[in-house]
Amino acid sequence: IGNKDVIGATMATLAEFPDRKLLGEDVIWSGNPEIGMLSSHRIYTTATHLGDGVYGKATGKQLKYRVIADCHAKNNQIDDEWLIRDQGAIIIQLGFRPEDYARTLIEREGGNENCVMPFSPKMDVTGPYTGKGNNNKWGEKYASILQKMMESNFSIVPKAYDRACQLEYPNGKSEINHNAVDEFWMSLRSSFPSAKFSIDHQIGREDPLMPPRAAIRFSLYGKHDGWGRFGKPTGAIVYVMGSAHVEFGPRGLRREFVVFDETAIWKQIILKTG
């Protein structure tokens, strides 16, 4: 709460990555200045690891990763923000595995009893914005696709996605084709088969010179009780907060960008297993 921690975190990041550049790829928004605006910002970041910091000793390695930040603004002021960084992409480019980094972070922060706990709904504080976005048809369309996949109905993929769909997934992974869609969403859901899936923000937009787009912030909350992206089931209670932007074309969903912090997920699992 407040801007001091935000400013402090930004300064620490700039000390570690002094040449960081934030390249705005898209903003998908709803509302108006009078009632308030919910906007979802997709940012492509380039940076060089030139300073010591949270990622360890400076390596000089060049990094590329995405961030999606949902913001609520009213009276020319941002008063609520949900920011998700592809932390896994950063860690992999620095030469580590996300699970190993999570384990190192727990040790560095003082062990299970003293480390910074990953975010969960129990820690949430209700902010000024309690809405969900808008009911535009393109947001509804993408929400319906996600709901079907989370219900294990993957027959929707060849019906809803363009065969040449461009896919940008967590850990900096770029793919093209239906098989990659199946693999990503199935491996995520199969890790948490009993977890509750929620759509927390949903925005659809149509703008001149742009394809129809949608932005969704989603979550999975429940037990790590299945085999999948996160290995052997552990029974850990895990909260996954993710954001996605998509574009639609004449043959269906043609571009999909999904971001979540894989190190935060591994941290929750390792805190359970040791």
Give residue-wise pLDDT tens across range 38-50. 999 999 999 999 9
pLDDT of residue 13: 86
Per-residue pLDDT reduced to its tens digit, 159-217: 999 999 999 999 999 999 999 999 999 999 999 999 999 999 999 999 999 999 999 99
Burial group, residue 155, by CB count within 10 angstroms (0-12, 13-18, 19+): exposed
pLDDT at residue 156 above 90? yes
Of 41, 110, 33, the closest CA to residue 271 belongs to 110
pLDDT of residue 33: 83
pLDDT of residue 6: 63
What is the percentage of the chain residues whose pLDDT exceeds 90?
A: 91
DSSP state, residue 22: E
Q: What is the pTM of this model?
A: 0.94
Domains of the chain and CATH, by start: 4-123 (3.10.450.50), 137-273 (3.10.450.50)
208 phi and psi angles, rounded to 5 deg: -55, 140
Average pLDDT over residues 12-28: 94
DSSP state, residue 165: E
Neighbours of 55 (CB within 10 A): 21
pLDDT of residue 76: 86
3 state DSSP class of 56: strand
Helices (H), the chain: 4-16, 87-93, 98-108, 137-150, 156-160, 178-191, 262-273
pLDDT of residue 111: 95
Higher pLDDT, 14 or 157: 157
pLDDT of residue 213: 98
Q: Which two tokens stand for residue 22?
A: 């934030």
CA distance 246 to 216: 9
Number of Cα atoms under 13 Å in the Cβ half of residue 146:
28
Average pLDDT over residues 97-107: 96
Burial group, residue 3, by CB count within 10 angstroms (0-12, 13-18, 19+): exposed
Q: Which of 27-36, 151-160, 214-223 has the lowest mean pLDDT?
A: 27-36
